[in-house]
Amino acid sequence: MFDNFNNLGMVLQVQPDSVYVLDTNNQTSYVKLSHVCKKIAVETRGVSGRRHLQRAPVVTDRFHNVITMKTVVKIVEGPFEHSLGEIRGIYKNNLFLLIRTSPNLHLLRKSNNFYACKPH
């Protein structure tokens, strides 16, 4: 995931001079690497080369169930209602889901089956 001065997004593809990004409004675009101001990662490496995991991001849904990374959730409203998606990214109050099966899957062709939403 990345953060520039205006919006937050999930990187879908990396190219030599830009990245292909899905933002929180489900719009895909190419962003120049010079416009990316912050990279958000869950896994970091320390000075000794060992991996240090930061605290895993956690959000709750409208029924106060805890949602973490790699959790499979059911979408209850919107264009992908009744679809199942695996959470691949969480940042603050934004979720990035990977939807595998849905009647409207053709709408996600540009975003490689990723969908951005908010937990209510």
Per-residue pLDDT at 4 = 62
- Convert the pLDDT of each residue in 25-43 to its tens digit: 889 989 888 887 777 665 5
- Convert the pLDDT of each residue in 45-63 to its tens digit: 455 556 555 667 888 888 8
End-to-end CA distance of the chain: 21
Its pTM stands at 0.78
User: What is the number of domains present in the chain?
Assistant: 1
- Convert the pLDDT of each residue in 104-118 to its tens digit: 888 888 898 999 988
Whether residue 86 is predicted with pLDDT greater than 90 in this model: the reply is yes
d(CA 90, CA 71): 11
Per-residue pLDDT at 92 = 80
What domain range is 23 assigned to? Answer: 2-117
Contact (CB, 8 A) for 54 and 44: yes
